[in-house]
Structure 1
Amino acid sequence: MLTLLNSESLWIGTDMKLFNKLREQLEQVGITYKHKVKNRMGQWAEAGTMRGRTGSAGIPADETYEYEILVHKNELEHAKKITGLM
């Protein structure tokens, strides 16, 4: 079982195509993973969201989401080799 205490981040980025490619590679070899998707412009700051305070002009649409893939600590090195992230 993959939990917060026994997982490590394999990859964090904004490229959705790479995110999906890495997930497919992990699935093909049977490595268990979890993923997180975070809307960077929807983060709450002191008085509202980032977009509400600063607007979204000048920020590329493909960079508004941040993707993270987590794997079990014991499988991290194997996952790096499989995905070519070493």
Structure 2
Amino acid sequence: MITIFNRKNVYTGNDMGQFSNIRRTLADHRIRYTYHIRNQMGQWTGRGTLRGRTGSAGQLNTPQETYEVYVHKKDYEEAVHLIQTSK
């Protein structure tokens, strides 16, 4: 089981394609992973979310999501090697 205490980050970025490729690579090699997707517009800023208060007016057409992929510490080196060689 991967927990906050025994995991290491192998990817943090805004590219959904790269995020998907990393997940596929890890799954193909049977390396367990967990992921987290953060949406910047969904963050709570006092009363309601940023998007709820302002809508999307004035927002740049850039990715709003940040993707993070974590593996167990014991699988970290193998996962990094597989990710680098799969590019």
- Deviation track 1:23-66 (CA, whole Å, cap 9, x = no partner) reads 00101111100011111111001233222455432322x51111
CA RMSD of aligned residues (A): 1.8
Residue pairs, 1:7-26, within 5 angstroms: 7-26=7-26
Q: What corresponds to 2:38 in structure 1? A: 38
Where in structure 1 are there 5+ consecutive unaligned residues?
A: none
Q: What corresponds to 1:3 in structure 2? A: 3
Percent sequence identity over aligned pairs: 37
TM-score (norm 2): 0.83
Q: What corresponds to 1:59 in structure 2? A: 60
Please give the alpha-carbon distance, in whole angstroms, between the structure 1 residues aligned to 2:77 and 2:50. Answer: 36
TM-score (norm 1): 0.84
Where in structure 2 are there 5+ consecutive unaligned residues?
A: none
Q: What corresponds to 1:49 in structure 2? A: 49
Amino acid at match of 1:58: Q
Stretch of structure 1 that moved more, 50-59 or 62-71: 50-59
Deviation (angstroms), 1:75: 1.0
Please give the alpha-carbon distance, in whole angstroms, between the structure 2 residues aligned to 1:82 and 1:4. Answer: 22
